[in-house]
């Protein structure tokens, strides 16, 4: 018997918005840093809604094509309603397409350049999960994730005033590096299930040890760049995380703290 409420709950669960809050935050950071130069609150609402829908789409479409690996990973299976049987693959794909179309609709109220960035993010996030499935191709998995779930969401928000400054490009580069690290962390978490599913992710090809070192290198580069652009004496933190074993939660905390300082500096006009 068809249960509309159950399907709606499964569709919402499939978007994994809570898991994607940091990526929404990247775009919001760019928006906040530029809102005072373009105080168009209607446009800001369009950016916010399209960002939420973009992240929802990226996670939803990923769930649609990650059934094979998520079935082998209890933690991921519980987050994937298609793998757990709560949502059919057809419903998952159709709802994902609907989310993408709605996001493009909101982005269409912005400038042509903003719309182009948004459509590019949708396309790259699709290619990451769906065939040719970049997430299962060594190097391309990390590279593509860094772009569509790192630099581009920030640039999408930062271009709200129609300009990308060198300062903003530097922050986008820092987020690119950190997204590289986050992708390697995700793959390391899924290492065993990806191995059973015969996927060739970067950690499977280069090994766990080197992947863990790269997580620290990319994280350190991100922290160093965020510190340098703030002109504060935190640059040594980037070097420290490369040389010592740092808890991932600590790394996330440092990056969030530095990004918050960037937002605060922009808001106070320093």
CATH at residue 194:
1.10.357.140
Average pLDDT, stretch 23-51?
Answer: 93
Q: Using an 8 Å Cβ cutoff, are 179 and 215 in contact?
A: no
**What's the CA gap between 205 and 202, in Å, rounded?**
5
263 or 100, which is more confident: 100
**What's the CA gap between 161 and 31, in Å, rounded?**
9
| pTM of the predicted structure, to 2 decimals | 0.91
Q: Using the predicted structure, report yes or no on whether residue 2 has a pLDDT greater than 60.
A: no
Residue 213 is assigned to a structural domain of this protein? yes
Q: Token match 């996670």: residue?
A: 59
| pLDDT at position 194 | 81
If 0-12 CB within 10 Å is exposed, 13-18 middle and 19+ buried, where does residue 201 land?
A: buried
% pLDDT > 70, the chain: 92
The residues, ordered by sequence, that sit 6+ positions from 41 with a Cβ below 8 Å of its Cβ are: none
Rounded to whole angstroms, what are the CA distances from 208 to 185, 192, 205? Answer: 10, 11, 9
| pLDDT at position 70 | 84
- Helix or strand or coil: residue 88? coil
Give the mean pLDDT of the chain. 89
| pLDDT at position 89 | 94
| pLDDT at position 165 | 93
- Helix or strand or coil: residue 240? helix
pLDDT in tens, 69-114: 888 877 788 889 999 899 999 999 999 999 999 999 999 999 999 9
Residue span of the structural domain in which 182 resides: 7-268
Residue 2 is assigned to a structural domain of this protein? no
**What's the CA gap between 18 and 252, in Å, rounded?**
16
| pLDDT at position 193 | 79
* Ranges of H-type helices in 109-207: 112-129, 140-146, 152-158, 166-189, 191-196, 202-206
**What's the CA gap between 40 and 3, in Å, rounded?**
41
Q: Using the predicted structure, report yes or no on whether residue 239 has a pLDDT greater than 70.
A: no
**What's the CA gap between 150 and 26, in Å, rounded?**
7
Q: Using the predicted structure, report yes or no on whether residue 228 has a pLDDT greater than 70.
A: yes
Q: Using the predicted structure, report yes or no on whether residue 9 has a pLDDT greater than 90.
A: yes
Residue 152 is assigned to a structural domain of this protein? yes
pLDDT category at 243 given cuts 50, 70, 90 is low
Residue 144 is assigned to a structural domain of this protein? yes
| pLDDT at position 232 | 65
Residue 227 is assigned to a structural domain of this protein? yes
pLDDT category at 270 given cuts 50, 70, 90 is very low
pLDDT category at 1 given cuts 50, 70, 90 is very low
Q: How many domains does the chain have?
A: 1
Average pLDDT, stretch 145-155?
Answer: 96
| pLDDT at position 245 | 66
Residue 180 is assigned to a structural domain of this protein? yes
């Amino acid at each position: 018997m068809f249960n509309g409420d159950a399907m709606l709950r499964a569709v919402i669960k499939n978007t994994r918005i809570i898991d994607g809050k940091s990526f929404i935050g990247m775009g919001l950071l760019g928006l906040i840093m530029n809102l005072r130069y373009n105080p168009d609150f209607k446009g800001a609402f369009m950016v916010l809604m399209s960002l939420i829908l973009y992240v929802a789409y990226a996670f939803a479409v990923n769930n649609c094509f990650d059934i094979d690996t998520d079935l082998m990973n209890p933690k991921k299976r519980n987050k994937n309603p298609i793998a757990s049987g709560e949502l059919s693959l057809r419903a998952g794909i159709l709802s994902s397409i609907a989310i993408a179309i709605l996001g493009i609709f909101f982005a269409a109220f912005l400038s042509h350049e903003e719309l182009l960035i948004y459509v590019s993010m949708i396309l790259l996030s699709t290619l990451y999960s769906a065939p040719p499935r970049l997430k299962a191709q060594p190097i391309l998995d990390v590279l593509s994730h860094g772009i569509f779930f790192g630099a581009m969401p920030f640039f999408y928000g930062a271009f709200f005033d129609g300009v990308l400054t060198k300062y903003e490009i530097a922050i986008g580069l820092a987020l690119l590096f950190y997204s590289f690290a986050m992708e390697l962390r995700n793959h390391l978490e899924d290492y065993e299930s990806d191995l059973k599913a015969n996927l060739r992710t970067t950690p499977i090809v280069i090994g766990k040890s080197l992947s863990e070192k790269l997580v620290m290198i990319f994280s350190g580069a991100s922290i160093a760049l965020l510190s340098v652009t703030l002109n504060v004496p935190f640059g040594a933190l980037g070097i420290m995380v490369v040389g010592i074993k740092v808890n991932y939660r600590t790394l996330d905390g440092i990056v969030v703290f530095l990004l918050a300082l960037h937002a605060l500096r922009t808001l106070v006009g320093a």
